[in-house]
Amino acid sequence: MLTKQDIDKIVEAEKNVFPTKEDFDSFKNEIKGDFSNLVTSVDKYATKSDAYFQEMLMLSHKLDKHEQWIHQIAKKLGIELEY
């Protein structure tokens, strides 16, 4: 038969092995904070990536226009350009 001391030992051992509601709530709050930080980081990265993509697109259009002008100048001067 189990004595009160044996039951107290089992209850104490269970507290160390199984999380309590307070442990779970603190873990849940920690995960929420980590997830919030992750979302913020991804959002900042997406914003920077979008700005970089737009800049590269503008530079590409600018380069295409310059290349077109160079071909027009070469054609007027009678120079054949090779790629």
**Residue 57 has what pLDDT?**
97
pTM (predicted TM-score): 0.55
**Residue 81 has what pLDDT?**
87
CB 81 within 8 A of CB 74: yes
CB 46 within 8 A of CB 56: no
Span 8-34, pLDDT tens digits: 888 777 766 667 778 788 888 889 989
In whole numbers, what is the pLDDT of the chain averaged over residues? Answer: 89
DSSP state of 18: S
CB 56 within 8 A of CB 49: no
Give the number of residues written for the chain: 83
